[in-house]
Structure 1
Amino acid sequence: MKIKFYYSVILCCLFFNSYSQKLNVNKLDSLFTALNEKNLFMGSIAISQNGKLIYSNSIGKASVETNKNATINTKYRIGSTTKIFTSALVLKAVENKKISLNQTINSFFPKIENSEKITIGNLLNHHSGIHELLDSQEFANGYTGKKSEEEMIAIISKLKSDFVPNSKSDYSNSNYYLLTVILEKIYCKTYSQLLEEQIIKPLKLKNTYFGGKINLQDNESYSYYFADKWIKDTEGDMSVPLGAGAIVSNPVDMNIFIQKLFEGKIISIESLKIMTQIQDKYGMGIFELPFYDKKGFVHRGQVDSFTSLLSYFPNEKLAMAITSNGAVYDKKKIMIAALSDYFNKPYAIKFETYEPEPNDLNNYLGDYKSSAYSKVITITKVNKRLFANFSNQSLFLIEPIEKGKFENIWEGNKIEFIPNNKELIFEENGKKFRFSKN
C-alpha cells in the first residue's frame, strides 16, 4: 500500500432535496466539477436503478503524461472489489457440487497452518486466521514482479495463523488468493477463463476482464498519487492478487454485474442469501452497508493508486459503482453525497480538511494498551498521515477532524489523543475505551 500526500482546500456544498428519490444531476455535476478543478479526484461514477443508468460522470485523466481524458468507457483496476466476482464463482462451484462450503482446504494446501480446520466457507468470510500475504517480507517493496502459484503458496504457507479458524475474523487477501487456486484446480481452467465463461459472456460485459500490464490503447488508465501534482504510480503484477484483486472494469459494467447478481442471474437466490449473511461484519466477498433506514451491500478496493467501490441496495434495486485512478478525496464521501441526493437526505460536503502540525503527529505515535480491550493499538505515521494497527492485524487510516481527534470514515471508529497523559480514547460502535501509552 502507498500512502500519498494530500491537498487541502476549502469548499462547501449543501444538498437538500424534496422527497422524490430522483438524483439532482446539477448538484452531482457541481461536486465532480469541484473535485476536478481542485485536483482531488480522477475517475468515474455510474448509478443505476432497476438496471437503468440514471447518472454517470468521469473526470481527470486516464493518462496525465499524454493528456488523455477519462471517459465513461475508461477502464480501471478495481482491486479488492474483485472479491465479489470471486465469491460468486466459488458459490457457483458449490451449486455445481464441485466443492462444498464445509470442505476443509488441507487436500489443496496441506502445508498451510490449520488447513485441516479451515473450510472454504472460512476463506470466503475471512474467518480462516490465515495472515495477510501482503504483510510478507517478499512484498515489503510492493509486488511489481511476477509470482508463480508455487511461489505464492510457499509464501502463504510460511505465515503463522492469526487465530483459531472460525473463532474470529480478520480481512486477508490470502483467503481469496487461495480460493482462486481452488477454482483453477477443480475446473482445470484459469481464473481468467472462468471469469469469462461464467460472468463476462453471460452478462455481455464489454469492459471487464482479468488484468495484465496496463494498456492505454485498450482504454485502460494509469494510476496516480498527488504530491503538488499527479505522479504516476508503479504497476503491481496481477499474478500476486489474482482473484483477490486483479479484475479490470468500469462503473457501468460493475453495476450490471451487481444488479444481475442480486437478481439471481449468476448464482441462485439461495446462494445469494448465504453470500450476504453477515458474521462478525463479514459476508462472503461482501459487506453490509447501512444508510439511514436503508440496507445495502458493498465492497471496496485498492491496488496501486487505483480505488473502487461497488454498492447495491436490493429493496430499491439501486446500484452505484465508483472507480478512481487518483484520489485525495475519499470515494466513500462521494458515495454518501450521491446516496443522500438519491434518498433525499441533507448532507454537507466539505473539502475543508484539518491539517495537523507534524510535531503533534509525532506525539501521538506509539503502542497503546487497555485493560478493557484485548488488542494493542499501534499508531504509526507515513508521510503526513496516521494509521492505527490493531495487534498487527487490522491496519486502517485515521483522518484528522480537529486537533487531537481522528476518525476512520469506513468503520466509523474515532480516536482522541491526550498526549499530556500519554493516553488515547478509542470509540467503537458507540463504546469508548481508554488506552495508555507504553
Structure 2
Amino acid sequence: MKNNLFLFLFFGLLATVTFAQDFDSSKLDSYFDALETHNKFMGSVAVSQDAKIIYTRSVGFADVENKIKANENTKYRIGSISKTFTAALVFKGVEAGKIDLNQTIDKFFPTFPKGDKITVQQLLYHRSGIHNFTSEEDYLSWNTSPKSEKEMIDIIIKGGSDFEPDSRAEYSNSNYVLLSIILEKTFKKQYSEILKEFITQPLGLKNTYLGGKIDVKKNESKSYKWMGDWKLEPETDISVPLGAGGIVSTPSDLVKFSDALFAGKVVKEESLKQMENIKEHYGMGLFQFPFGNKQGFGHTGGIDGFTSIFTHFPDGNVSYAMTSNGTNFNNNDISIAVLSAVYNEPYEIPQLNTIELSSEDLDQYLGVYSSSEIPLKITITKENSTLIAQATGQSSFSLEPTEKNKFKFDAAGVVLEFNPSEHTMVLKQGGGVFTFRKE
C-alpha cells in the first residue's frame, strides 16, 4: 500500500510464447529451490489451466522466528489484489440495482469535498482526484493502529484533491477505502460479510477472507524484509485498508477466483467487460498484463512485507497467482519464469552467488550521495556486514555484493557501483544510469 521508488506497479512480461499442455514442473521446482536456498523469496505460487490447478509450490517460512514452514494452504495478505474483489462486489450491487456507477458520492458522504462531482465509477477507475493517503509521510506512523470509519474518512478528506474529477487517472488507495464503505452502507453489512456472501462462499474459497490480527495458529503468514536476514515487518491494522488491501488468501484460491471471474461466474459478462475496459492504464479493479503477444488481466498487491500478483490469460485459459511474505528478488522475473514454464518457453535458473565482505570492508562506501541528474539522495549505512541503502522518503533496503565495489538489490533490479577513490556511486536501474557524488 505504501509507494516505493524502486517497486513497480505494472509488470511487463516480455517473451514470445506458445502454450504447452504439459510443462517441465521439475525445472520450475529447481528454480524455486534456488530462490529458497539463497534466501531470495518466501511465498507460494499456483497455476491453473482450464480451471484445473496444474502447479503449486511453497517455499520459505510462514513464521521465521518459530521455523514454521509455509505450505499450500498458508494464507498471505494480498494487498491491492483486494481491489479486484471490491470492484466485483460493486458490480454485484450494480446488477442488483442497489448501486449506480454514475451516482455521485455525496449520497454516501454528504460533507465530502467535491462529493457532488465524484462518481462511483471514477473511484473504480482511480479518476476521482482524491489524494492517496498511503503516500503521506506520516502514514507509517499510524497505519498499525485501529481506525474507525469516521477516522478513515477524515484522513482521506484531510489529504485533499490532486486534480479535478475525471480529468486524468492516478492510483489512490483512498478510492477503494471509500468504495468499501459505500458497499457497507448499501448492503447494510460489514465488508467481511459482503465478501463472504457474494464471492468466497459461492466459490468455495475457504482460505480467503478479510484479514485481522495475523494468527500463525490459523496458518496465516507473517511478513518480512531482507536486511542480511529476514526481519519481521510491522502489521497494518486491517481497519485501515479494508477492501483496498485487507484481504488474505492463497494462490490456489486466487486462481479459482480468477477462473470464476473471467468465466462470468462472479459478475455478469457485461459487468466483466466494463471492468476490463482500460482508461489511461486502469480498468475497474483490473490492470492489463502483457506476456509476449498475449494480454492478460489481473492485479498486483503489496502491504507491509507482503507482495502478490494474479493474472488471467484467455490464450490457453491460464490463471497464475503468487503470494509472498518476503522477497529479496525481482518478483517480475519469478512471474516470467512461471509463465515461461507454462507456455513452454526458455528461462534460466538464476545464478545467485555473491561475495563475502567484512564490516570493515564496507566503511569506504558509507555516506550520503546526491545527484545533479535526479532530485534524490541515497544514504548508505551498514548493519554488521550488510550494506544498507535508503533513498529520500523511501524504505531502506539491503545490498548484496557481487564483485569488487559492485552491489545489487534484486527486488527492484538496482545495481550500485562505487568508486571510493573518486567518492562517486553509479545507480543503474531499468536502462537508466545515474551518477551520484558523496557529500
TM-score with structure 1 setting the length:
0.82
Q: Give 1:120 deviation, angstroms.
A: 0.7
2:383 corresponds to 1:384 = no
2:339 corresponds to 1:339 = yes
Q: Give 1:388 deviation, angstroms.
A: 9.8
Q: Give 1:110 deviation, angstroms.
A: 3.4
2:356 corresponds to 1:363 = no
- SS for the counterpart of 2:116 is coil
Flag the 1:245–1:217 CA change in 2: closer, same or farther, 3 A.
same
Could you tell me how far apart the structure 2 residues matched to 1:367 and 1:108 are? 46
Does the 8 A contact of 1:132 with 1:172 survive in 2?
A: yes
2:76 corresponds to 1:73 = no
Q: Give 1:326 deviation, angstroms.
A: 0.8
Question: Quick one: which amino acid aligns to residue 280 of structure 2?
Answer: D
Q: Give 1:348 deviation, angstroms.
A: 3.9
Following superposition of structure 1 onto structure 2, how do residues 241-390 of structure 1 map, counting pairs within 5 Å? 241-348=241-348, 350=350, 362-364=369-371, 368=374, 378-381=375-378, 383-384=388-389, 386=391
Could you tell me how far apart the structure 1 residues matched to 2:392 and 2:340 are? 28
Q: Give 1:334 deviation, angstroms.
A: 0.7
Does the 8 A contact of 1:307 with 1:325 survive in 2?
A: yes
Could you tell me how far apart the structure 2 residues matched to 1:162 and 1:21 are? 48
Q: Give 1:358 deviation, angstroms.
A: 5.2
Q: Give 1:109 deviation, angstroms.
A: 2.2
Q: Give 1:315 deviation, angstroms.
A: 2.8
Match of 1:407 in 2: 429
- SS for the counterpart of 1:302 is strand
2:434 corresponds to 1:417 = yes
Could you tell me how far apart the structure 2 residues matched to 1:113 and 1:343 are? 49
Q: Give 1:386 deviation, angstroms.
A: 4.8
Match of 1:54 in 2: 54
CA deviations 1:43-98 (Å, max 9, x no partner) are 10101101111111001111111111100011111111111100100111111111
Does the 8 A contact of 1:129 with 1:162 survive in 2?
A: yes
Could you tell me how far apart the structure 1 residues matched to 2:376 and 2:113 are? 29
Q: Give 1:347 deviation, angstroms.
A: 3.3
- SS for the counterpart of 1:184 is helix
Does the 8 A contact of 2:209 with 2:248 survive in 1?
A: yes
- SS for the counterpart of 2:141 is coil
2:94 corresponds to 1:94 = yes
Q: Give 1:4 deviation, angstroms.
A: 13
CA deviations 1:360-385 (Å, max 9, x no partner) are 98233x785xxxxxxxxx43547525
Q: Give 1:24 deviation, angstroms.
A: 1.1
Question: Quick one: which amino acid aligns to residue 179 of structure 1?
Answer: L
Could you tell me how far apart the structure 2 residues matched to 1:29 and 1:121 are? 42
Could you tell me how far apart the structure 1 residues matched to 2:109 and 2:429 are? 39
CA deviations 1:195-232 (Å, max 9, x no partner) are 00000110011111110001111111111111221111
Flag the 1:170–1:17 CA change in 2: closer, same or farther, 3 A.
closer
Question: Quick one: which amino acid aligns to residue 389 of structure 2?
Answer: K
Match of 2:232 in 1: 232
Could you tell me how far apart the structure 1 residues matched to 2:248 and 2:18 are? 37
- SS for the counterpart of 2:106 is coil
Could you tell me how far apart the structure 2 residues matched to 1:310 and 1:264 are? 17
Q: Give 1:157 deviation, angstroms.
A: 0.8
Could you tell me how far apart the structure 1 residues matched to 2:37 and 2:122 are? 45
Could you tell me how far apart the structure 2 residues matched to 1:198 and 1:110 are? 28
Could you tell me how far apart the structure 2 residues matched to 1:16 and 1:272 are? 27
Flag the 1:74–1:166 CA change in 2: closer, same or farther, 3 A.
same
Q: Give 1:39 deviation, angstroms.
A: 0.5
Q: How many residues align?
A: 390
Question: Quick one: which amino acid aligns to residue 432 of structure 2?
Answer: I
Question: Quick one: which amino acid aligns to residue 416 of structure 1?
Answer: V
TM-score with structure 2 setting the length:
0.82
Flag the 1:111–1:136 CA change in 2: closer, same or farther, 3 A.
farther
Structure 1 unaligned residues grouped into runs of 5+: 6-14, 369-377, 390-396, 409-413, 421-438
Could you tell me how far apart the structure 2 residues matched to 1:262 and 1:312 are? 8
CA deviations 1:291-343 (Å, max 9, x no partner) are 11111012111111011111110232101110111111132211111111222
Q: Give 1:35 deviation, angstroms.
A: 0.6
Question: Quick one: which amino acid aligns to residue 78 of structure 1?
Answer: I
Could you tell me how far apart the structure 1 residues matched to 2:63 and 2:140 are? 27
CA deviations 1:379-438 (Å, max 9, x no partner) are 35475255799xxxxxxx964257545436xxxxx5332569xxxxxxxxxxxxxxxxxx
Match of 1:193 in 2: 193
Match of 1:372 in 2: none
Q: Which moved more, 1:108-117 or 1:68-77?
A: 108-117
Match of 1:371 in 2: none
Instruction: State the superposition RMSD in angstroms.
Output: 3.0
Does the 8 A contact of 1:254 with 1:310 survive in 2?
A: yes
Q: Which moved more, 1:183-192 or 1:18-27?
A: 18-27
Q: Give 1:137 deviation, angstroms.
A: 5.5
Q: Which moved more, 1:280-289 or 1:327-336?
A: 327-336
Flag the 1:231–1:398 CA change in 2: closer, same or farther, 3 A.
closer
Structure 2 unaligned residues grouped into runs of 5+: 7-14, 356-361, 380-387, 395-410, 418-425
- SS for the counterpart of 1:115 is coil
- SS for the counterpart of 1:279 is coil
Q: Give 1:115 deviation, angstroms.
A: 1.8
Question: Quick one: which amino acid aligns to residue 434 of structure 2?
Answer: F
Match of 2:163 in 1: 163
Could you tell me how far apart the structure 2 residues matched to 1:80 and 1:138 are? 20
Question: Quick one: which amino acid aligns to residue 276 of structure 2?
Answer: T
Question: Quick one: which amino acid aligns to residue 415 of structure 1?
Answer: G
Question: Quick one: which amino acid aligns to residue 161 of structure 1?
Answer: S
Question: Quick one: which amino acid aligns to residue 188 of structure 1?
Answer: K
